[in-house]
Structure 1
Amino acid sequence: MTAVAARPVSPVLRRDRRRWGWGLAALVAVGWSLLAAVDGEVVNPAGSVQFGRFAAAALSPALDGAFLGVLGTAALVTVAYAVLGTVLALVLGAAGAVLVARTTWGRRRLGWAAARGVLAVPRGLHEAVWGLLLVNVLGLDPWVGVLAIGLPYGAVTAKVFADLLDEVPRGPYEALLAQGSGRTAAALYGLVPQAAGGLLSYAFYRLECAVRSAVVLGLIGAGGLGYQLSLSFASLRWPEVWTAVYALALLCLAADVAGRAVRRRVAAPRRGADVLSRDRVLTAAVAAALAGVVWSWWFLALSPASLVSARAREQAGYVLGAAWPPAADGDLLREVVRQSVVTVQTSVLAIAVATAGAVLVAGVAARPAGRSARGRRVAGSLLRAALLLVRAVPAPVWALVLLFVLLPGVLPGALALGVYTLGVLGRLAAEAVEEADARPRTALAALGARPSGGWLYGVAPQAAGPALAFALYRWEVVVRDTLLVGLLGAGGLGALLASRLAAFDWAAVTTVLLATVALTLAVDLVSDRARRALR
């Protein structure tokens, strides 16, 4: 009897109902937010002339020596804030990572969840909000800029570092535990050395972000390029505004290029004769970072004594005493709920605009893997420069510009955040296209497919998942940034916070801040569930 070979059965593609459900929910949320954004009058025709002057000045920036000298000094202040803020964030993040890593807590999930919950408070508030609060305690002290960057970034860094520690092999860690070491010591000596590459790479990425945050802090009076930008903007000196914008772009480009070089070296360490050799670029980067810390401390003339001065203690006691307990009157709570809805609508519309834009530009912005036409290379370079420019300009500046032609509300805030976030997502989506497997596209080209078809069917499906995951991750960041543009009149919880801060109603300020943290946690939870559905 001859055995009959079983016929292979092709796997049946099944529709993932969770993905369809999340997709439908996203469309409903975007439609709901768009209807709220265009409800009533949104255009301010009287501001079109001023907007035209602003746009025209892009081709004629101010280049006089006196103003460039002022910008040079302001750039040094921004760099010093970014360096010291990053160092503080790394110190806090390294200490916090060991305390909140899942590995450290073992099976004690309640303690791990509580530790993670503590981190949600500092990272749930924007750096500018920290700056406004610290100004009321420390005055215009340089520590305001350093702490406003270091505290929230430290909480974010602790979370990321903890995740990196949880992903490395646990063999050395468990061996140290078996020899009687404590969990903290075992984590320091058994986990940290293995994760050192990823930790160093993220540290330089955080420095890039700190440069942009230092600019934002300048908008609220902390000094630096942001402060000079706000002064020129307030006096309607558009050529000076564009000079400051281009200076910001160059500074962000320098941080971006340096960070990218370091991360590339960490990802692919040098070898000599099959043995890991010292990388001079990484050694120089670490040495430059240490020298930068010393110089920044000297340049800003920081004094630890100012943190514990009698005035600081008195102001801190007054603010804390006035801020607790939070205000709970009915009118305020109803307003908090209403403005929370506005904040969600603004963030949803902003991330939708940024995601749609990133999908459109990712293919052209990505660097070609092989040889390509000169026109394609030029178009890609110009588009990458444009993305750098829109993410170098802080979202509040985009909001102020849009408020020339749009009335205050959801729409200007959403568009401002959407444009800024497009600069970030466009870059990330382009990198996802660059990292996609080239074989499907090559196979389609061999079968006679056009380049557009090869990209659409061979590259886009691979890049779609990472791009959507990046967008969902950025949604939490956009919620925090919504508070910032709201401070400038774009609506939402930021506008409510600004009015309460102006009235020194600290109990109401606490209520608004708690609502902001709760909203950020809720968005983080929804975003995490949606990312799981995409895997």
Structure 2
Amino acid sequence: MTTVLDRPVRPVVARLRRDRRRWAWALGAAAVLLWSLAGAGLFTGDVVNPGGTAQFGRFAAAALSPALDAGFLGLLASSALVTVAYAVLGTALALALGAVGAVLVSRTTWGRRRLGWLLSRGVLAVPRGLHEAVWGLLLVNVLGLDPWVGILAIGIPYGAVTAKVFADLVDEVPRGAHSALLAAGAGRASATLYGLLPPAAGGLLSYSAYRLECAVRSAVVLGMVGAGGLGYQLSLSFASLRWEQVWSCVYALSLLCLAADVAGRAVRRRLAAPPPGPGRDPVLTGAVVVPLLLVAWSWWYLAVSPASLVSARTAEQLAHVLGAAWPPATDGALLGSLGALAVDTVQMSVIAIAVAALGAVLLAGAAARPPGRLSPARRVGGAVVRTVLLLLRAVPPPVWALVLLFVLLPGVLPGALALGVYTLGVLGRLTAEAVEELDPRPRAALAALGARPVGAWLYGVLPGAAGPVLAYALYRWEVAIRDTVLVGLLGAGGLGALLASEIAAFDWAAVTTVLAAIVVLTLLVDLVSDRARSVMR
């Protein structure tokens, strides 16, 4: 029989159990990191290539003297237009697919039918489990060098991701208005349209702007595998060791990412604090009208033709690839190599996330824009850190991998560090935004009591930022698994290297097996990441 005195004990016991689970997961994560570092050869083997330091120095020195001749700048401008056009049309397709997919995978649609909801979510794991570059390599074998390759390669995986995010945003909206409309006799579609979409509109529009920024980087990656644009020029300059041109491409890409970042930030700020008074907001109106105009221009600029999707040649080539890809290859040698390379892929992603998370924690304070007046040194330092983070995420991971191969021997480590550097640029920005949204009063109180800036940061900011940082890091781990395939395509190891060799050999049955392994691995990491987030909450 439970007494009144027993009741206060229950929350304490539950808290102790939760703390033990957290410590168990933290120790497990540390063990996995040590295992990954050992697998990368950091403790036992030679990983440094001393002969490449001179070339790396020339690459770094060229950052101060980019190519600025008129001919190359004109080429960069035309290439940037191609990249923007692919990013805009890819994002438009992703948003359209995401809006339809969100209806199919939302909890609101399925209600209490949990099995149907889980199955619909599982279907999305297939398209979003493959990187855009993989989609590009597969589609080019069906469509040839057609603009639809770049558009579909961005739109299909991004559409699956967008459907999941849109569904989560709608599901998290308060249900009062929706329930009232249903009780008044409205249908499910009408109740969702008028009861859930208006309060979720801000988050939907904000995420759409963020997805456009991501699409710019993806368009560059696709350019490196043959889609044209800035990525193609970047790969040509890198292959010929023209470092001044490489840095010009990097700076041009950074400007595109900065423009998308600034536009998205302006939309998010206006949604968070709309101006008072009636009438349309010009910023939000522009956020809708300008993308529509860009879609029309991109369609014309790339000369996109729907007829190429339904042509006889496309149907014939698709039937040939699908026929050759099924049934999947099941020979022992392939399956054995899949296991070993899957281990390399996981180790690469773990090291990348550890590097990115540590760097994000160290740089988030400087990158954040705290409220109030700042000293000139603080403003300049913050601008420098934000610029560095922008450059880190503007350069595609394959370029970082190729640069690191100057000073590191081929293997897991250069691919892991390349992903870590790139992910640091993304995670550092997200972490800085999380710090900006924290309550500033604890830090101000500690500063008023005489605490030094470092102490105020450690005790007034870091505890509140730990949760968002951990959540972002675990989410980026899922993305890093996909990105390991990208650097693997260029020889950094893991499943991506095997996939590249099988595609080059046109062994479509083996390609199917490798793709299935990548999707399963992505799904497993997704489940582990989701469980870790729930334990650490």
- The alignment's TM-score, normalised by the length of structure 1, stands at 0.95
The separation in 2 between residues aligned to 1:437 and 1:121, in whole angstroms, is: 39
Classify the secondary structure of the residue corresponding to 2:198. coil
Aligned equivalent of 1:35, options 35, 38, 41: 38
State the Cα deviation string for residues 29-52 of structure 1 (Å, max 9, x = none).
Answer: 110011111242322222222212
State the Cα deviation string for residues 279-324 of structure 1 (Å, max 9, x = none).
Answer: 1111122111111010000000000000111111111000011111
Classify the secondary structure of the residue corresponding to 1:504. coil
Alpha-carbon shift at residue 186 of structure 1 (Å): 4.0
CA distance change for structure 1 residues 42 and 108 in 2, over 3 Å: closer, same or farther? same
CA distance change for structure 1 residues 174 and 449 in 2, over 3 Å: closer, same or farther? closer
Q: How does 1:273-312 map to 2 (within 5 A)?
A: 277-312=279-314
Alpha-carbon shift at residue 192 of structure 1 (Å): 2.3
Partner of 1:252: 257
Aligned equivalent of 1:368, options 367, 370, 382: 370
Q: How does 1:78-157 map to 2 (within 5 A)?
A: 78-157=83-162
The separation in 1 between residues aligned to 2:82 and 2:367, in whole angstroms, is: 32
CA distance change for structure 1 residues 453 and 293 in 2, over 3 Å: closer, same or farther? same
1:505 equivalent in alignment to 2:514: no
CA distance change for structure 1 residues 371 and 193 in 2, over 3 Å: closer, same or farther? closer
The separation in 1 between residues aligned to 2:329 and 2:236, in whole angstroms, is: 35
Partner of 1:4: none
Q: How does 1:116-515 map to 2 (within 5 A)?
A: 116-178=121-183, 183-184=188-189, 186-272=191-277, 277-515=279-517
The separation in 1 between residues aligned to 2:109 and 2:232, in whole angstroms, is: 43
Task: Name the amino acid aligned to 2:517.
Answer: A
Does the CA-based 8 Å contact 1:270-1:278 persist in structure 2?
no
The separation in 2 between residues aligned to 1:185 and 1:148, in whole angstroms, is: 33
The separation in 1 between residues aligned to 2:186 and 2:515, in whole angstroms, is: 41
Does the CA-based 8 Å contact 1:98-1:184 persist in structure 2?
no
Alpha-carbon shift at residue 401 of structure 1 (Å): 0.7
Alpha-carbon shift at residue 267 of structure 1 (Å): 2.0
Task: Name the amino acid aligned to 1:32.
Answer: W
Large movers: runs of 4+ above 4 Å = 11-15, 175-182
Aligned equivalent of 1:17, options 20, 23, 46: 20
Q: Which runs of 5+ in 1 are unaligned?
A: 1-7
Alpha-carbon shift at residue 175 of structure 1 (Å): 4.7
State the Cα deviation string for residues 434-471 of structure 1 (Å, max 9, x = none).
Answer: 22211111221222211211111111111111111110
Alpha-carbon shift at residue 178 of structure 1 (Å): 4.9
Alpha-carbon shift at residue 200 of structure 1 (Å): 1.1
* Mean Cα deviation higher: 357-366 or 302-311: 357-366
Classify the secondary structure of the residue corresponding to 2:149. helix
Task: Name the amino acid aligned to 1:220.
Answer: V
Partner of 1:72: 77
The separation in 1 between residues aligned to 2:287 and 2:385, in whole angstroms, is: 29
The separation in 2 between residues aligned to 1:429 and 1:155, in whole angstroms, is: 25
The separation in 2 between residues aligned to 1:344 and 1:73, in whole angstroms, is: 38
- The alignment's TM-score, normalised by the length of structure 2, stands at 0.95
Does the CA-based 8 Å contact 1:395-1:417 persist in structure 2?
yes
The separation in 1 between residues aligned to 2:184 and 2:106, in whole angstroms, is: 21
Does the CA-based 8 Å contact 1:99-1:184 persist in structure 2?
no
The separation in 2 between residues aligned to 1:187 and 1:324, in whole angstroms, is: 41
Alpha-carbon shift at residue 270 of structure 1 (Å): 2.1
* Mean Cα deviation higher: 43-52 or 184-193: 184-193
Classify the secondary structure of the residue corresponding to 2:213. helix
- Percent pairwise identity: 76
Classify the secondary structure of the residue corresponding to 1:270. coil
Partner of 1:5: none
Q: Which runs of 5+ in 2 are unaligned?
A: 1-7
Classify the secondary structure of the residue corresponding to 2:249. helix
Partner of 1:3: none
Does the CA-based 8 Å contact 1:83-1:207 persist in structure 2?
yes
Does the CA-based 8 Å contact 1:215-1:224 persist in structure 2?
yes
**Count, aligned residues:** 524
The separation in 2 between residues aligned to 1:283 and 1:157, in whole angstroms, is: 22
The separation in 2 between residues aligned to 1:252 and 1:533, in whole angstroms, is: 35
